[in-house]
Amino acid sequence: MSEEEIKKPEATLASAPQNSASPASTRGEPDERKYATRAPRRPRFGDRRRPKPVVRQIKVLRRDNEGSAEDHARAGATTGLKIIHFGGLGEIGKNNMVAIQYNDEIILIDGGLGFPRQNMPGIDFSIPNVGYLAGKENMVLAWFFSHGHLDHIGAVPFIMHKVGDPDVYAAPLTKALIMRRMEEFKDRKPLDIEEFKAGDEVSVGQYFKVKAHRISHSIPDDLLFEIKTPVGTIVHTYDYKMDRDPVNDQPANLEELKAIGDRGVLLFMGDSTGAEMEGHSLSESAVTHDLEKLMREATGLTIVGCFASSLNRVQQVITLAEKLGKKVVFDGYSMKNNVEIAKRLGYIKIQRGTQISLEEVASCPREKLVAIVTGAQGESNAALMRIANGEHRFIHPIAGDSYIFSSSIIPGNESEIQFVKDQLYRNGAKVFNYQMLDVHASGHGDKEDIRELLKIIRPKFLMPVHGQYSMMINHGYIAQEEGLPKENIIIADNGNVTHIEADRWWVDKEKAPSDPVYVDGLGIGDIGNVVLRDRQMLSEDGFLVVVVKVERSTGKVNGSPDIISRGFIYLKDNKDLLMQMRKKVRFIVDNNTAHGKDINGTYLKDELRNQIGLFLFQKTERRPMVLPVLIEV
């Protein structure tokens, strides 16, 4: 059938055979022509799909390796080795946190936050759901942190009171960044953090011994943990890459890591972010060449946008600026904070006289200045967006300036980044990104990095972490290519309680709470799926308030119903529809209070909500939230 015939049902009628019976109908089978010749009906009120829940619910149709009744009876409530992830599985850059439990002792690794998606209006960020620890706070003996990115440390102020009173361990830079984060929350009790550097080892309780090892990432002091338990050794690393020539950091000690593998590793939990990318991740040192070329050939001001926590990249730019005789200025709240912390601890080295203040920008020749700013992801209030919009107090866009986006695109931020780029191009700027030149290297290893570490560690069991589900699956495929049996690969979900034994693993039939907890202003956990769904509906079709005064004695409408519209229609431009709504409201009220009927407020409000909603959908094919207010006078 042609497209025109689909659009015009009468064409189908005209082309249908005129005989009254067909072979199909004589056989008692349904005559398909009567369905084909019907004109499409008008959509009903209920046809329009409601907005999908803002928080997508994971549907597990099957669960591999669920323990038997004997397993559960033998394990009991606390016996044996368990792994429980509160976040970080099936997702990237969000709520990374894991609990490792043996009998009645628990250690934690990380406690990060997640930034909201576009369909989460009003949400500031999400944090891990640590409901599993309720009633077990006295079991939590230690809390370790792998590195200082917010998706690994950002939730600390919000969950610290729910994890008991453990000893806290972090490398010097990570410790400083956590302490800085805590300063933003004056009402929280001070956090005592012990420095835990690469090479350090600590015994925790009766069952755990934890040793830190250096591993490469985009921020200094990234740690891999070797965790000895009565069942066997666990190796855990969230974010890493196998970079033999890192910038501003030392490479991983491969001989040390190989020695761990030689001693035997029961379980490896490793980063899956790059498991779908071929080859090796680009070395940080490889970025230097193209950055230097751009900064050397820049005709005006050079502005580098990157993550505030990418301190190795910041050091690269500073070193190149000093080599080329240029000044450096920093902007962005988190950028300035992180740089000052890193300078104080010696992780960023900058010569006297290189750094200038924002107030000095106007007096410095533009071609002799490099600005390192936040906002490469298109954040609305970040420094780069304010510069692009001409709203920055000290840095103004001028034709010929060079803008370098030294970061990858986080999925979901494409439109915001494109907007910033377009704004800059409109101002005559030159814009460069990682898709054009090697101006960014991921902090996460690709397939060959993952393969290399698997060959070094040689675990008995693998649990991929930190990645979308497809990335975790592909991490498992790489392990199978290296000889690890498929049945030894554990693809878990947040909240799974995974039991690890010396020669097997199994999943508890009961899950730990795993829905993320949302933070909105001062509220923590008081925003759930229902509230988010309401917010999404309001953002799509708005709402309508119908205020009706009803005389208690007669049941008649007193005066004219008040209609208030927000986000639905502008009432002054839709007077006819407003008049029809008022008539409809009167009709509904009169129809339900006639003949001396008592006024049933609850029923009447439901009728107003449903019938006005249906009426508006028929008129506009939009469905605002209708809020009836009934006043008896």
pLDDT at 4 over 50: no
| % of the chain beyond a pLDDT of 70 | 82
pLDDT (mean) for 398-424? 86
pLDDT higher at 107 or 590? 107
Of 118-127, 292-301, 586-595, least confident by mean pLDDT is 118-127
Cross-sheet strand order for the sheet of 233-237: 201-204, 208-214, 223-228, 233-237, 265-271, 459-465
pLDDT (mean) for 279-283? 89
Q: Give the DSSP per-residue string, 165-185.
A: S-EEEE-HHHHHHHHHHHHT-
Question: Which pLDDT value is given to residue 570?
Answer: 76
Q: Which domains does the chain have, with CATH numbers?
A: 3-40 (no CATH), 69-279+443-524 (3.60.15.10), 285-433 (3.40.50.10710), 542-632 (3.10.20.580)
pLDDT higher at 64 or 324? 324
Question: Which pLDDT value is given to residue 340?
Answer: 95
424 touches 385 (CB < 8 A): no
pLDDT higher at 165 or 620? 165
511 touches 60 (CB < 8 A): no
Residue 261, H or E segment: helix 254-263
Residues with catalytic function: 271, 444
Question: Which pLDDT value is given to residue 78?
Answer: 59
Give the pairing of strands 97-102 and 81-87: antiparallel
pLDDT at 318 over 70: yes
pLDDT (mean) for 622-626? 84
Comparing CA positions, the residue from 512, 488, 509 lying closest to residue 68 is: 509
Tell me the C-alpha distance between 306 and 334, whole Å: 11
Which stretch, 44-53, 389-398, 599-608, has highest mean pLDDT? 389-398
